[in-house]
Amino acid sequence: MAFEDLAHLRRARDLMDREYARPLDVPTMARAALMSSAHFSRRFRAEYGETPYNYLMTRRIERAMALLRRGDLSVTEVCVEVGCTSLGSFSSRFTELVGETPSAYRTRDHTAAAPVPACYSKTMTRPSRI
């Protein structure tokens, strides 16, 4: 893959990392990468090992986990806050990636992780498909 293509893919990935709560679709991400939608989807998957949509949803779930650990927002509020429009789809994807429902995750005691620096916590709690 050409160096320029990697830079363009990284630009789209950075857009997803930064603007995860915004409504993003593949054509919008492809424009950020200066590629057609189909080419972008193929190149993104080849480079990062998952589709652009799955990457975006993983970022959203990751942020939702942080908001749920705080405990001051309901699951519905967290769903909207991270940019998901369907509570059912959000809950299903959350359960798939995290292994428990958002409500169960929210009510679990997270105080043991409180003294852990954020950079380690982010790495250790990152949702992933097994």
CATH of domain 57-125: 1.10.10.60
For residue 12, which amino acid is it? Answer: A
Query: In terms of Cα–Cα distance, which of 28, 32, 26 is closest to 7?
Result: 32
Q: Compute the distance between CA of residue 124 and CA of residue 39 in angstroms, rounded to an integer.
A: 32
What is the maximum alpha-carbon separation in the chain?
Answer: 47
Task: List pLDDT tens digits, range 21-46.
Answer: 999 999 999 999 999 999 999 999 99
Alpha helices (runs of H) in the chain, residue ranges in sequence order = 3-18, 26-32, 37-48, 52-70, 75-81, 87-98, 102-107, 118-125
Average of per-residue pLDDT values in the chain: 88
Place 113 in a pLDDT band, splitting at 50, 70 and 90.
Answer: low
The arithmetic mean of pLDDT across residues 121-126, rounded, is 61
